[in-house]
Structure 1
């Protein structure tokens, strides 16, 4: 029997104690959070031990720290996968100028530019639904993001924080009896989506983020862990371009971000790299998402062994058929989302098994690891999140027995 392994995209529900400890941390004069206190470090350390142990109890094959080292001061938070990096990078300040202010930006043929967040095409097409608090459409809270006001660099605080993440998860993995695990890290392309108030050139700013993220990737890999590069920008940027660009122009724009990932990963062994692609974790219609068939070949250009992507939500589930036509290199592994962060309905284990079997038939069961669409922490209720992971494990066992 070929066992189909299970994992998840990264973020898991935080404990009430950790959320309270995060919320209580002071904010510095620059609006960012300073290095943690010894008291906070102990709360975080124990929380990581507990979340890894719970993954073991459920039966998750490849765990992480739940992204607990990524600050989340409230139970609902869609953005900690991104905002955590702000405390680790010098040259950033809160100025009041962010993604939710300013005039909309317009693109043209051969000149692809990201517009402001409120000008996203999905948000404007369904403006009535997005503005109705009873519609069920949610985008999470809208915090103020920093602006790059000087040369950016991975800071000494960043090095301390990633070392803390590594130490915590290594100890927790050992305690729970795991031999492998991963840590999540931001992509250069996603980092470069914050407002640039210094470089004045999109490509130069992207290049700067390559240098910023490289030390974090290398620190994680040097510890023997797998680096998961989280990069919604590869797919999500499409919706933040007005008017809709040609696919050719968008792929040219995106290939620069793929190249940025590869340059930042140059010192990391390919077998220790996972890459996560998604269309944004907000709970909305997503009618303006770019089709996966346009992105899948580009995905394979990323120097990673494992490719994680959304495949369970109702906007993208049908796109598993891409892998019937696109040849997956023999040394690569698919990590498709099999349960979704976008619904409170807990997927039946039989549905989980059927979804896994589709991918197994397309590329071989030994090259499929069942996962989640996006992180579950901060997006759905903890009780539902853990039930989804349990269903994922149960369904993987069913699929394995049949394969």
Structure 2
């Protein structure tokens, strides 16, 4: 029997103690969080030990640190996967203008530009639902994000924080008996979505973020861990372009962001790299999502062995058939989302097994790792999140016996 392995996209529910410790951290004059105290570091270290042990107890095969080093000061938080980097980068400050407060930007054929978040097409199409607090739609709280007011660069604080993440993860993996694990890191394209008040050129700003992220990727890989590059922007940007562009224009725009990932990973072995794509983790209609068939060929050009993508939520589950049409290179492994962050319903193990079997019969069970659509931490209740992971593991055992 070939075992179908399990993992998850990254973020896991934080413990109450860690949330409280994060919320209590002071904010500097620049609006960013200063280096942690010794007391906070101990709370964080123990929390990582506990979350890795919980993954081992459930039976997750490929763990991470729950993204616990990415500051999250409230139980509901959709943005820590992204906002964590701001404390690790020079050249940023709170200016009062960010991606939520800036003026909308319009694109034209051959000139694709990202607009503001409130001007996204899904948000405007369903404006009544988004503005109704009883609708069930949520994008989480939206703090003021920094803008780049100077040259951006990975800071000494960033180097200390990623070293802390690595040390905590390695110690927790060893304690739980794991030989391998991964850490999440932001993509250059996602980093470059903040307001640029310095470079004045989209491509130059993207290039700057390539240099920003490279040290973090290299530090994770040098420690023998797998780097997961989180890049919702590859798919999510489509919804942030107004009016809707042609697919050709969008793919030209996106290819630059794929190239940016590869340039940032230049010194990282492909076998130690995962790439995560999603259409944005907010709980909304998502009717303006771009189809996977347009993006899948680009995904295969990324220098990552493991390709992680949403395949469980009701907007994208049907797209498993894309992999019937594409030949998966021999050095690639699919990491489809099998349980969703976007519903409180816990997937039945039998459904998990059926979803895994689809992929296993297409590419072989040894080249499928069952995962979550996106991070569970901050998006659904912890009790439900852990139940979903338990169902994922149970369903993978059923599928492994069948295929």
Task: Give the shorter-chain TM-score range.
Answer: over 0.9
Q: Confirm whether residue 35 of structure 1 aligns to residue 35 of structure 2.
A: yes
5 Å-filtered alignment, 1:44-63, equals 44-63=44-63
Q: Distance in 2 between matches of 1:165 and 1:116?
A: 32
**3-state SS, counterpart of residue 360 of structure 2:** helix
Q: Distance in 1 between matches of 2:160 and 2:398?
A: 42
Q: Distance in 2 between matches of 1:377 and 1:102?
A: 29
Q: Distance in 1 between matches of 2:310 and 2:106?
A: 28
State the partner residue of 2:337.
337
State the partner residue of 1:175.
175
TM-score with structure 2 setting the length: 1.00
Q: Distance in 1 between matches of 2:399 and 2:242?
A: 43
State the partner residue of 1:285.
285
Runs of 4+ displaced beyond 4 Å = none
Unaligned runs of at least 5 residues, structure 1:
none
Q: Confirm whether residue 104 of structure 1 aligns to residue 123 of structure 2.
A: no
State the partner residue of 2:350.
350
Kindly provide the CA deviation profile for residues 94-137 of structure 1, in whole angstroms up to 9, marking residues without a partner as x.
01010111321000000000000000000000000000000001
Q: Distance in 2 between matches of 1:146 and 1:260?
A: 22
Q: Confirm whether residue 265 of structure 1 aligns to residue 255 of structure 2.
A: no
State the partner residue of 2:204.
204
Q: Distance in 1 between matches of 2:387 and 2:102?
A: 42
State the partner residue of 1:5.
5
Kindly provide the CA deviation profile for residues 299-322 of structure 1, in whole angstroms up to 9, marking residues without a partner as x.
001000000000000000000000
Kindly provide the CA deviation profile for residues 55-103 of structure 1, in whole angstroms up to 9, marking residues without a partner as x.
0000000000000000000000000000000000000000101011132
State the partner residue of 1:188.
188
Q: Distance in 2 between matches of 1:100 and 1:270?
A: 36
State the partner residue of 1:116.
116
Q: Confirm whether residue 360 of structure 1 aligns to residue 371 of structure 2.
A: no
Query: What's the CA shift for 1:201?
Result: 0.1
Query: What's the CA shift for 1:325?
Result: 0.8
Query: What's the CA shift for 1:230?
Result: 0.1
Deviates more, 1:391-400 or 1:99-108: 99-108
State the partner residue of 1:152.
152
**3-state SS, counterpart of residue 13 of structure 1:** coil
State the partner residue of 1:325.
325
| Count of residue pairs the alignment pairs up | 403
| RMSD (Å) for aligned C-alpha atoms | 0.3
Q: Distance in 1 between matches of 2:88 and 2:6?
A: 30
Q: Distance in 1 between matches of 2:102 and 2:354?
A: 47
Q: Distance in 1 between matches of 2:339 and 2:100?
A: 31
Q: Distance in 2 between matches of 1:293 and 1:313?
A: 16
Q: Confirm whether residue 84 of structure 1 aligns to residue 84 of structure 2.
A: yes
Q: Distance in 1 between matches of 2:287 and 2:36?
A: 41
State the partner residue of 2:218.
218
Query: What's the CA shift for 1:187?
Result: 0.1
Q: Confirm whether residue 389 of structure 1 aligns to residue 389 of structure 2.
A: yes
State the partner residue of 2:399.
399
Q: Distance in 2 between matches of 1:362 and 1:292?
A: 17
Q: Distance in 2 between matches of 1:78 and 1:362?
A: 33
Q: Distance in 2 between matches of 1:195 and 1:25?
A: 25
Unaligned runs of at least 5 residues, structure 2:
none
